Structure 1
Amino acid sequence: MPDTSGPDGAAPLDTPPTRREAARARRAQSAADAGPTFQTQIRAARSEFESQVAHARAEFEEANARLKQRTGRDIVLAIVIGLAAGVLVLASLLFLKWIFLLFALAAASLGVFEFTRALQAAGRRVDLIPQLIAGALLLVSGYFAELWLHWVATLAAVAFVVVWRLLGQMFARDGRTYGAVLSDVIISGFVQLYVPFLASLALVLLSQDGGEWWVLAFLIVTVVADTGAYASGLAFGRGGRHPMAPRISPKKTWEGFAGATVVALAAGVLLALYMLGLPWWAGLIFGAVILGTATAGDLGESMIKRDLGIKDMSSWLPGHGGVLDRLDSILPSATAALALFYLLSPLAVR
C-alpha cells in the first residue's frame, strides 16, 4: 500500500473524496438547497387553503345573516334540527311503529306545556298538571283503544280538565268574574282538543294495518309543502309580494302558497304510486287535502299567537321556535289523513 502518512510520521494527509462520496455530498447539498423551497411551498399552499376556507366561511355567514334578517330565524340551525327530528320519526315508523307513540307523547306533552304557559302568561287560568295527565291518557287511548272508546276518552279528558278548573276556582275565592271563569273553562277544554286530541288521531291512524305508511305520507306532504312555501316565498315573494292573510301572518304570501301547492301535489302523486299503492289521481286528492289542512293549521296557530301577543310559543327549538310551532300544520293534517285513509285505502292495490 502507498504511504499516506505525513513527513516524519505525522498524521495522515487528507485524501481526495471518492466518486460515491462526492455524489452523496452533492445529493445532500441539493436536498439542503431544496428543503427551504419545498417547505415554503407547503406553507404557501396551507396559507392559500386557509384563506379560501375563511373566505367561503365569511360568504356563508353573510348569506345566512341575510336570510336570518329576512326570515327572523337561523336557517342553517333550523335545517339541522329538522333533519335530526326527521331521522328519528322515520326510524320509529319504519322499524318499530310503537316507538312513534313515545315520540308523539313527548312532542304533544311539550306542546301542551308551551301552550299552557303562554296562556298563563296572558292571564288565563289553565292548570298544567291536569292538562298533561289528561293529554297523555288521551294519546295512549288513541293507539291502544277501539275508536268508540277513544271518543269516550276524549270526552273524559275534556271533562277532567274543566271540572279541575272549576274546583280550583271555587277554592281560590279571588273574586274572578263570571266571564273570566267561563273563558278559563272553555280554553282549558280547547287545549285538550287542540293538541292531545288531534295528535291522538295520528296514533289512531298508526294503529291501523299499514297505518305507519299513511302517517309517514301525510308528514312528508306537510313538510315538503312548508318547505316549498318557504322557498317559493323567498324566490318570488320579493317586491310584488301578495300576502295571504296580512292581519294574521304577514309573511305568508300567495307566491309561497303556489310553490307549496306544486310540491304538495307532486309529493302526493309520488307517495300514492310508490308508497300507498293508490291511483295517481288519488295522490292529487291526498296532496291537496293535506295542503289545505296544513295551511289552515299554520294560519290558525298564527292567529292564536297574535291574540296572545307572542311570536313563538317558546324558544326550545332554535330556528323553529317552539314544539307547537312545528306541530301547527301537522295536528289538523292528522285528522285529514285519518279521513283519507278510510276513504281511499279501499282503492289500494293489494
Structure 2
Amino acid sequence: MTDAPGSEGAAPSDLPNSRRQAGGVRRAQSASDASSGPPSAMRNARSEFETQVAHARAEFEEANERIKQRTGRDLIVAIAIGLAIGAVVIVSLIFFKWIFLVFAIAATSLGVFEFVRALRASGRRVDLVPQLLAGVVLMLSGYFVELWLHWVLTLVVVVVLIVWRLLAQMLARDGRAYGAVMSDVLITSLVVLYVPFLGSLATILLSQDGGEWWALAFIIVTVAADTGAYATGLTIGRHPMAPRISPKKTWEGFGGALLAALIAGVLLAIYMLGLPWWTGLIIGAAILGTATIGDLGESMIKRDLGIKDMSSWLPGHGGVLDRLDSILPSATAALALYYLLTPLAVS
C-alpha cells in the first residue's frame, strides 16, 4: 500500500523553521560572545598589567637588595625618612622659625645622646645630663642673644663641663689613670663643641634677616652633594677616596657631589638668595668642602670607636648624628658666607 501523498513531505516543510531556529541560536550565541567580549578583554588586560607590575616590583626589590648589600642601607626606607625630614625642615623654615629652632634643638640633643652613649660604650667617661643641658643653652643663645655673648656663653659652658667631669672623677675615687682622666676632659670638650656649638651657628644664621633662606639653602646644597656622591659612587665609583677612614667613598662620588653642589648653589643663589650666579659656585664649593670634612671626620670617630653607625634610630640612615655629620660643619661656612655675600644681594 502506497503512502498518502505528502506523508514524506512533512520534514521538508519544516526545514524553513529549522533554519530560522538555527539562525536564531547563532545570533544569540554571537550576541552572547559580543556581550562577553569586552569583559574578557578587560580581564586579560588587567591580568597582563598585574603581571607587569609584579615583574617591575621584583626587579626593583632585586636592585634595592643589591644596593643594600653594597652600601648597607635600605634605599626605600632611607628615601621615605629623608623626604619626611625634608618636609619638616622646609615647612618650618618657610613658615615658622620657632618650629625649626625646636627641631634643631631636638636633633642636636639626640646627636649628643648618641655620641655620649657610643663614647661610654668604648670606656670613656662623659656626663650625659650636663652635656644635654649645655647643648640646649648653646642652641637657644645662638638664636636669642648677641653674637659676642654667645661666644662668652660657649666658653663658660666648656669650662663648667670640664670642672663637672673633674669633680665627678674626684668623687669616684676609683684610681683611674691620669691619662684616661685627661682623655675624658678633652672628649667632654669635643662633644659640646662638635654637636651643639656647631648647631648653634645654624641658629645664629636663622636669627638674621632672611637667615631662614640661607639656612634652607645650605641644607639643600648639603643634601644635593650627598645625593650626588651616593648616586655617582654607587654607579661608577671605582677609586677609593679615603680607604683607611671610609672605604666606600670614591673620587667618582666626590666628582658627582661637586657637580650637584655647584648646580644647586647657582640655582639657589639666583632664585632663592637673590645673588649673582657666580656666588652660587662659591656657595656650592664651600659647603661641599665643609660637608666632606664633616663626613670624613665622623667616619674617623666611628672607626676609632669601632662602630658602623651612631645608632639605628633612622632606618636606612643610621643615627641622627650620622645625618648631621655634614650639616653641622657646613653651618660654619654658611654663616660666614652670609656675612660676606649678603651685601651683593640684588634689592
Q: TM-score, normalised by structure 2?
A: 0.89
Query: Which stretch shifts more, 278-287 or 119-128?
Result: 278-287
Q: Which residue of 1 aligns with 2:84?
A: 84
Q: Specify whether residues 250 and 38 from structure 1 end up closer, same or farther in structure 2 by C-alpha distance, changes over 3 A only.
A: same
- Asked if 1:114 is matched to 2:111, the reply is no
Q: Which residue of 2 aligns with 1:135?
A: 135
Q: Which residue of 1 aligns with 2:254?
A: 257
Matches within 5 A, 1:65-84: 65-84=65-84
Q: Distance in 2 between matches of 1:50 and 1:275?
A: 44
Q: After superposition, what is the alpha-carbon deviation per residue over 1:109-136, rounded to whole angstroms, capped at 9, x for unaligned?
A: 0000000000000000011111111101
User: SS of 1:126's equivalent?
Assistant: coil
Q: Distance in 1 between matches of 2:169 and 2:282?
A: 47
AA in 2 matched with 1:223: V
Q: Specify whether residues 38 and 299 from structure 1 end up closer, same or farther in structure 2 by C-alpha distance, changes over 3 A only.
A: same
- Asked if 1:327 is matched to 2:324, the reply is yes
Does the CA contact (< 8 Å) of 1:134 and 1:160 recur in 2?
no
AA in 2 matched with 1:153: L
Q: Distance in 1 between matches of 2:305 and 2:155?
A: 27
Q: After superposition, what is the alpha-carbon deviation per residue over 1:133-170, rounded to whole angstroms, capped at 9, x for unaligned?
A: 11011100010011011111111221222122111111
User: SS of 1:192's equivalent?
Assistant: helix
Q: Which residue of 1 aligns with 2:167?
A: 167
Shift in Å, 1:268: 1.2
AA in 1 matched with 2:69: Q
Q: Which residue of 1 aligns with 2:146?
A: 146
Q: Which residue of 1 aligns with 2:314?
A: 317
Q: Distance in 2 between matches of 1:97 and 1:105?
A: 12
AA in 1 matched with 2:68: K
- Asked if 1:272 is matched to 2:269, the reply is yes
Q: Which residue of 1 aligns with 2:102?
A: 102
Q: After superposition, what is the alpha-carbon deviation per residue over 1:285-344, rounded to whole angstroms, capped at 9, x for unaligned?
A: 111111100000000000000000000000011110000000000000001110111111
Shift in Å, 1:265: 1.1
AA in 2 matched with 1:121: A
Matches within 5 A, 1:19-98: 40-98=40-98
Q: Which residue of 2 aligns with 1:19?
A: none
Q: Which residue of 1 aligns with 2:341?
A: 344
Match of 1:296 among 293, 296, 300: 293
Q: Distance in 2 between matches of 1:57 and 1:271?
A: 36
Q: Specify whether residues 338 and 40 from structure 1 end up closer, same or farther in structure 2 by C-alpha distance, changes over 3 A only.
A: same
Shift in Å, 1:277: 1.4
Q: Distance in 1 between matches of 2:42 and 2:268?
A: 53
CA RMSD in angstroms, aligned pairs only: 2.0
- Asked if 1:286 is matched to 2:269, the reply is no
Q: After superposition, what is the alpha-carbon deviation per residue over 1:234-281, rounded to whole angstroms, capped at 9, x for unaligned?
A: 2221xxx21111100111111111111111111111111111111122
**How many residue pairs end up in the alignment?**
325
Query: Which stretch shifts more, 161-170 or 113-122?
Result: 161-170
Q: Which stretches in structure 1 are left out of the alignment for 5+ residues? A: 1-23
User: SS of 2:272's equivalent?
Assistant: helix
Matches within 5 A, 1:195-210: 195-210=195-210
User: SS of 1:109's equivalent?
Assistant: helix
Does the CA contact (< 8 Å) of 1:89 and 1:100 recur in 2?
yes
AA in 2 matched with 1:51: T
Q: After superposition, what is the alpha-carbon deviation per residue over 1:80-103, rounded to whole angstroms, capped at 9, x for unaligned?
A: 111110110000010011211001
Q: Distance in 1 between matches of 2:120 and 2:334?
A: 32
User: SS of 1:319's equivalent?
Assistant: coil
Q: Which stretches in structure 2 are left out of the alignment for 5+ residues? A: 1-23
Q: TM-score, normalised by structure 1?
A: 0.88
Shift in Å, 1:28: 8.1
User: SS of 1:206's equivalent?
Assistant: helix
